[in-house]
Amino acid sequence: MPITKDLIAQHGLTDEEYQKIVAVLGREPNLTELGMFSVMWSEHCSYKSSRAFLGKLPTEGPHVVQGPGENAGVVDIGDGLVAVFKMESHNHPSFIEPYQGAATGVGGILRDVFTMGARPIALLNSLRFGPLDNPKNRYLFSGVVAGIAGYGNCMGVPTVGGEVYFNEIYNHNPLVNAFCLGIARKDRIFLGRAAGVGNPVLYIGSKTGRDGIHGATMASDSFDEGSESKRPTVQVGDPFTEKLLLEACLELMEKDVLIGIQDMGAAGLTSSSCEMASRAGTGIELELADVPRREQGMTPYDLLLSESQERMLLVAKPGREGEVLDICKKWDVDAAVVGRVTGDGFLRVKDKGVVVAEVPARALADDAPKYERPAAAPPYQDHLQSLSLELIPEPADCNAVLETLLASPTIAHKGWVFEQYDHMVQTNTMLRPGSDAAVLRIKGTDKALAVTADCNSLYCVLNPYIGAGIAVAEAARNLVCSGARPLALTDCLNFGNPERPDIMWQFILAVEGIADACKALKIPVVSGNVSFYNETRGLSIYPTPVIGMVGLIEKADRAVSQGFKNEGDAIVLLGETGEDLGGTEYLRAVHHREQGTPPMLNLDREVALQALVLKAIERGLVQSAHDCSEGGLSVALAECCLSAPSGPMGADVTLDARGLRRDSLLFGESQSRIVISVKSNDIITIKALAVETNVKLSVIGFVGGRKLTLSIRDGQGRANVWIDRPSRDLDIIWRGALRSALESGEERG
C-alpha cells in the first residue's frame, strides 16, 4: 500500500514527523512500520509535548528504590519490603465505552504493578464527571463505577478510596484515573528490560484480537461529534484471565526464571518489545506466526498494534523457557516463545520467516519527537482571577448554606460509589473509604500504608501553579491526618490540547507547582502519567493534575480516622483562617461563581503543620484528625460529626471573628488547616507541641450532644449562633445526596 499524505494524517503523524521516520529508516516505511511509529510517537506513548518539562520534578529520596521510567515506582518500607505503585488515565476509552474503558484502566494499572514483582493490595481512583442532571453523565458515571467494581472485585483487590468531582467542564470529557499499590520483596524487583543476547522472548496471557487497535492514537486526539464511533478502539477486559495471569507471573518471578517482563498496554506488542529492547540497549526479533490469536486473518499490522488486554512479554533466562511454559500451563494461561533478544538494536518482526518490519528499537521508544510548544496565559485569565468580595453578599441563613454544601455531589458522602467496591477483600483494610486516607496493614509486620488521591481542578484553572501545589500539600495532609509519614507520589496530569499555548501554559505552571511543593515537603515523584487532548470541539477540561500518594505508619495501631470519637473531647483547629473565598465550593454552589485567586499556600506553614500532627499522633494524643478542604471549616466539622464510628455525633464550636467575613470563617478554604480532637487533659501537651513547631492552635469547642452548633464571637465578646442543626438531619442530607441526584436526574430525564 502506498504511503499517502492522507494515510499519514490518519495515523496522527505530521509531515515533519513522517520525514523524520524516513530519515531514521533511510527509506519509506511500509504500512506496518507506519502503524508502529504512529502508536509509539503518539502523545499517549511518547510524551512528546511534556518530556521537556517533567525533568523539573524531584525523583530521588531516601526511600526511592525505582523512580520514573519503569512500569511503576518503588519505595522502601523496611523489613525487606517495598511498596510499588502508579497512577494512569483511561479517560478517552471511558467516554466512548464507560464500563470497559474503566475496567481495562483498572486491569492495566494492576499489570503495571504486578509486572514489577508486587502483589497488588489496593486500588484507588480519581473520577471527574459533568452534573448528574444530564442523562449522558449519569450513564457515564454509573458505567465507570460499575466497570471499576467489576474488574477490581473479580481480581480480589480491594478498591479502598479515591475522589469524585462533578463540574460542567467534564460534560464531554470525563476523567478516569486509576491507582494501584502493591507489596514486593526488595530483592525481587523485576524490570522491563530485554537483556542477554540470544535469550528467549515469550508471549503469555490472552490471545490477541483486533480490539484496541490504535487505542494509543485515539487517546492522543481531541473529541468531536464522531468520537463515539471509535468504540472498536476500546479494549475489552477479562478480569478472570488477569487473575490467572497475575498468579502465573508471580510464580515465574518466585522461581527466578525471568530476565525482564513488560505489560502489553498501550501500543501492545510494539510498545512492550521496543521499550524492553531500548532500555537494555539491545534488539528483539519476533516471529508473528507464533503469537497466540483469537481471530482469523490478522495481519502483522493488527498483531503489532492490537491492545488486547491481559498480556505480557517476557524475557526468560537461557534454557528456562520450558519452565515458563509449564507454569503458564498450570495456571491455564496461553504462552508461546515468539522471539529472541538480539544485539543489533533493531526491533525486527517476521511473519512466517519473512521480515515485515525492521525499525531501530530506540527510534520507536526513546527517540520520539520532543516538542517545547508555545505557552502563553489565556486572555481570560485576568477575568477568572478577578473577584470583588464586596459584590458577594454574606449569607443570612448559614444553616441553608451548610446543607447546600453537604448536598453538593462533590462534597456529599460517596457511599453510593464505594459500596459497589469490595474494599475489605484480603482483610488488610484498616481505614475504609470515606476518611482522609485509606489505611492498609502490612501483614507480617507492625506497619501500615496509607494511600490517597487528591486534586482541586477549580483551583488549578484559576492559578495552575498554586492549584497543583495545593494538590500535593493536601494529599500529604490527608496521609498525615491518618498518622502516615508521606514517602512518595505518583501523578496523573490531565490537560487539554497541548498545541494550544494556553494549555501548555497551564501544564508548565502546574508541573512547577508540583515540583516546588514536593521539594518543600521532601516527597519525590516516582511514577506518573500525562493525559493530553482532554478536549471536545475546542472546549478543554480544567487542568487536573491528580496526585496519588503513599505514606508509612510505623505502628499500625496508631492509625487515626476523621470521625469524632468521644463525648467531651476538645476540638482543636490547627492553622490559620484567612479571607480565602476564591475558587471555593461555597462560591460555586451558592453564588454560582468560579472566580478569584485560590487560597494561598505557604509551604513553610504546611511543613510545620504536618510535623506537629505527626508528632501528636505518634505520642497517642490525637483522637481524630481531618483536614479542611472543600466547603471549609464548617463542612470539615460536619464530616467529623457524621463520620463518628458510633453514628452521628454533635459538637459545640465557637470561632473568633477577627475581622473576617462570616462566610470566610465558616466556608472559606484557607490551606494548611487540620481539625483534631483530643482528650481534655491532653490540651496542654498539644499546645506545647504547637509552640515548639510554631503552628497556630485554637481550642474551638467540644464534642457532644446531638447537634452541630457554630457560633462566632465578635470583638466585644458577644457570640452569635450561625449554624445550629441536628447531626442526624445533616447526616441524611450528606449520605443521601448522591443517590438523590441520580434518582432525581432519572425522573427529570
* Catalytic site positions: 44, 90
Angstrom distance (rounded) from CA 526 to CA 514: 13
How many other C-beta atoms lie within 10 A of the C-beta of residue 26?
6
Q: How far apart are the first and last CA of the chain?
A: 49
What order do you get walking across the sheet with 624-627 strand by strand? 624-627, 674-678, 570-574, 697-703, 651-656, 707-713, 719-726
In the block, cell 493534575 appears at 545
Q: In the beta sheet, which residues pair with residue 439?
A: 431, 450
What would the grid cell of residue 514 be? Answer: 508540583
DSSP readout, 363-396?
Answer: HHHTSS----------TTHHHHH---GGGSPPPS
Angstrom distance (rounded) from CA 533 to CA 173: 10
- The residues near 273 (Cβ < 8 Å, ≥ 6 apart) are 194, 201, 284, 286, 313, 339, 347, 361
CA angle 66, 257, 115 (to 5 degrees): 40
Give φ, ψ of 530 to 5 degrees: -120, 130
Environment class of 251 (CB within 10 Å of its CB; exposed 0-12, middle 13-18, buried 19+) = middle
Angstrom distance (rounded) from CA 693 to CA 610: 10
Angstrom distance (rounded) from CA 462 to CA 468: 11
- Report yes or no: 431 and 439 within 8 Å, Cβ to Cβ: yes
Angstrom distance (rounded) from CA 735 to CA 738: 7
554-564 burial, b if ≥16 CB within 10 A, otherwise e?
eebebbbbbbb
Give one word for 575, left, alpha or beta, with left for phi > 0 and alpha for psi -120 to 50.
Answer: left
User: What SS3 class is residue 706?
Assistant: coil
